[in-house]
């Protein structure tokens, strides 16, 4: 079974390997290098202000998304694990609904709402939209961690005179920091690679890297697209690896 798992993993990762190889091709077409390699497509990427601006926009929106998502997910996870209230299961189901809803349905609804607000064309609109997809993931990570923490630790702090915010900041938050870091990294990865919501909500001034890659895939297919994809991989894979490390047995 282990051998089969390794074979399946190799099959799943093979497109990534091909993409990385194509990004170094000296050819003007999407093909694996045959006569040497070049960094020319990466130089062209960083020399093009459209691509660079899209990369900067992606990073800015991702940081905003992580901040919003982790804050909302942490507040919700604390409420769900430390309190019981009417309709709790319904609230949790509603929070997790974006995981199963079609992204295009969410995007159409978000477009109708954002167009009626001053946020249209602002990076915060994209961050809020990405947070809709990222909050459920951050919530699951934080809820799993908080449910394992002993609530008596907070109760002891309260008994020693600490207020609710002091007990949370001095006891709960430090113990949950590995999960907070992991949730932030997961949300960063989600935002950096989100395309459906971005296609609907991004304007010319706030285009992200996936939004710029998309039309180039359709109308100007060159290895420049592969180099842009590899740059996204460079940003995403370390974040996912670090998140897995923070949630690993050593951190627990």
Q: Which of 64-73, 91-100, 142-151, 155-164 has the lowest mean pLDDT?
A: 155-164
pLDDT of 218 > 80? The answer is no
**Distance of CA 212 to CAs 62, 96, 224, Å?**
16, 29, 11
Average pLDDT over residues 49-61: 93
Looking at residue 162, what is its pLDDT? 67
The tokens describing 64, both together, are: 């905003």
Looking at residue 71, what is its pLDDT? 94
Quickly count: other Cβ atoms within 10 Å of residue 15's Cβ: 10
With 0-12 / 13-18 / 19 or more C-beta atoms within 10 angstroms meaning exposed / middle / buried, residue 63 is middle
Q: Which residue has the higher pLDDT, 149 or 209?
A: 209
Q: Which residue has the higher pLDDT, 244 or 58?
A: 58
φ, ψ dihedrals at 48, nearest 5°: -95, 115
pLDDT of 40 > 90? The answer is no
Average pLDDT, the chain: 85
3-state class (DSSP) for residue 65: helix
Percent of the chain, pLDDT > 70?
A: 92
84 vs 86: CA distance, rounded Å: 7
- List, as own/partner pairs, every contact residues 13-17 make where C-beta atoms lie below 8 angstroms and the sequence separation is at least 24, other chains included: 16/233
Fold that domain 56-209 belongs to in CATH: MetI-like fold (1.10.3720)
Domain chopping of the chain, boundaries: 56-209
Q: Which residue has the higher pLDDT, 132 or 150?
A: 132
Looking at residue 173, what is its pLDDT? 81
The answer for residues whose C-beta is within 8 angstroms of residue 54's C-beta and 6 or more apart is: 207, 208, 209, 211, 212
pLDDT of 184 > 90? The answer is yes
Half-sphere exposure of 193 toward its Cβ, with a 13 Å CA cutoff?
18
Q: Which residue has the higher pLDDT, 33 or 181?
A: 181
């Amino acid at each position: 079974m282990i051998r089969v798992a390794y074979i399946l993993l190799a099959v799943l990762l093979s497109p990534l390997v091909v993409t990385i190889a194509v990004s170094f091709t000296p050819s003007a077409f999407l093909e694996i290098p045959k006569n040497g390699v070049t960094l020319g497509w990466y130089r062209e990427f960083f020399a093009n202000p459209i691509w660079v601006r899209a990369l900067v926009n992606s990073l800015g929106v991702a940081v905003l998304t992580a901040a919003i998502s982790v804050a909302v997910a942490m507040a919700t996870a604390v409420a769900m694990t430390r309190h019981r209230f009417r309709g709790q299961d319904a609230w949790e189901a509603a929070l997790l609904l974006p995981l199963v809803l079609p992204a295009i349905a969410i995007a159409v609804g978000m477009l109708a709402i954002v167009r009626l607000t001053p946020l249209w064309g602002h990076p915060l609109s994209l961050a809020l939209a990405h947070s809709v997809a990222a909050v459920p993931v951050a919530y699951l990570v934080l809820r799993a961690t908080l449910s394992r923490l002993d609530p008596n630790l907070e109760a002891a702090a309260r008994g020693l005179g600490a207020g609710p915010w002091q007990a949370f900041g001095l006891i709960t938050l430090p113990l949950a920091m590995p999960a907070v870091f992991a949730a932030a990294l997961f949300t960063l990865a989600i935002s950096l690679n989100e395309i459906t919501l971005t296609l609907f909500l991004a304007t010319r001034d706030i285009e992200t890297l996936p939004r710029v890659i998309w039309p180039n895939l359709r109308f100007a297919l060159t290895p420049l697209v592969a180099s842009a994809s590899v740059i996204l991989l460079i940003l995403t894979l370390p974040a996912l690896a670090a998140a897995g490390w923070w949630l690993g047995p050593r951190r627990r």
